[in-house]
């Protein structure tokens, strides 16, 4: 069983609110990722981190920001949510590439912005 | 065109049937992942492979590097196998997040 956790699982908020999606893993993985997934569509990378104080934007442009102050914690923040941000956000981690590249995913955070 | 193509997109079968889901990709890869996503949204890693074949319980994954093709098989399918199965490849050229690219998934429904 994967030790990676996301909160909240579901969030419904109004436009303009600031939100933070939490992601924590207890496996000591250096690599962490945030993906955005719309219904019936593939996962798109929005942010990733290869370790503490390392963050990069992914392939899909996103107005969200991330931070990596501790190895186990990789929160995602939207300063001012809009209806276009309505989606599912999935956090993942891995120990590395090659044989250590197995991916572990959280349960996802389903965000609805009214 | 997506670098990772899965077929079929949707599959409905009866309990007990042998299931095959296909994944074709267009780039050189270092590894291929098969993932399972249940209706609640969480994703579980089923296999990570770079050559040959792997088996876990009723699930079998194969990959042909020369043909850039992988298959996921489910033997003696059961309604609890109903989920979306996602193929993802780790590109040799690297890039953001180790060059992972995901397919759109195959939505599998197993009817009792």
pLDDT for residue B9 is more than 90 = yes
Structure tokens at A87: 């989606």
pLDDT for residue A99 is more than 60 = no
Structure tokens at A50: 């290869």
Average pLDDT over residues B1-11: 89
In this prediction, what percent of chain A has a pLDDT beyond 70? 94
Facing residue for A48 by CB, picked from B31, B35, B96: B96
Facing residue for A33 by CB, picked from B86, B90, B97: B97
| Residue pLDDT, tens place only, B33-66 | 999 998 877 899 999 999 999 999 999 999 999 9
Q: Do B98 and A43 touch (CB under 8 A)?
A: no
pLDDT for residue A55 is more than 80 = yes
- Report the C-alpha gap between A89 and A76 in whole angstroms: 9
What are the residues whose beta carbons fall under 8 Å from the beta carbon of B45, sequence distance 6 or more?
A102, A103, A104, A105, B33, B34, B35
Give A95→chain B minimum CA distance, Å: 12
Average pLDDT over residues A27-47: 91
Average pLDDT, chain A: 91
- B110: enclosing H helix or E strand: strand B106-111
pLDDT at B96: 55
Q: Model confidence at B27, in pLDDT bands (50, 70, 90)?
A: confident
Q: Does B40 touch chain A (CB under 8 A)?
A: yes
Q: Which residue has the tokens 């042909």?
A: B64
- Report the C-alpha gap between A86 and A36 in whole angstroms: 10
pLDDT at A58: 87
pLDDT at B85: 97
pLDDT for residue A100 is more than 70 = no
pLDDT for residue B101 is more than 70 = yes
- Please tell me which residue, B91 or A23, carries the higher pLDDT value: A23
pLDDT for residue B94 is more than 70 = no
Q: Do B41 and A58 touch (CB under 8 A)?
A: no
C-alpha to C-alpha distances, A73 to A2, A53, A70, A91, B92, nearest whole angstrom: 15, 11, 5, 11, 28
Structure tokens at B111: 């009817």
Average pLDDT over residues B22-27: 94
pLDDT for residue A98 is more than 70 = no
* Angle (nearest 5°) at CA A33 between A104 and B35: 40
Q: Coil, strand, or helix at residue A61?
A: coil
* Chain A residues within 8 A of B105 when measuring between CB atoms: 42
Per-residue exposure over B50-82, b if at least 16 CB sit within 10 Å of its own CB, e if not? eeeeeeeeebbbbbeeeebebbbbbeebeeebb
């Amino acid at each position: 069983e994967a030790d990676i956790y996301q909160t909240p699982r579901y969030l419904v908020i109004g436009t303009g609110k600031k939100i933070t999606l939490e992601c924590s893993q207890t496996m000591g993985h250096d690599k962490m990722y945030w993906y955005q997934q719309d219904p019936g569509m593939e996962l798109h990378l929005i942010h990733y981190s290869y370790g503490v104080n390392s963050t990069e934007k992914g392939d899909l442009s996103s107005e969200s920001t991330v931070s990596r102050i501790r190895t186990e914690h990789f929160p995602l923040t939207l300063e001012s949510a809009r209806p276009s941000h309505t989606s599912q956000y999935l956090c993942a981690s891995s120990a590395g590439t090659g044989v250590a590249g197995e991916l572990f995913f959280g349960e996802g955070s389903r965000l609805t912005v009214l | 065109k997506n670098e990772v193509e899965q077929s079929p997109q949707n599959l409905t079968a009866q309990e007990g049937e042998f299931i095959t889901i296909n994944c074709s990709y267009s780039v050189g890869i270092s590894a291929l992942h098969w993932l399972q996503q249940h209706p609640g949204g969480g994703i579980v890693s089923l296999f990570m492979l770079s050559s040959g074949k792997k088996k876990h319980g009723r699930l079998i994954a194969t990959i042909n590097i020369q043909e850039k093709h992988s298959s996921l098989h489910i033997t003696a399918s059961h309604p609890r196998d109903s989920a979306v199965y996602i193929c993802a490849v780790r590109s040799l050229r690297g890039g953001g997040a180790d060059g992972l690219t995901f397919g759109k998934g195959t939505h599998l429904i197993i009817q009792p």
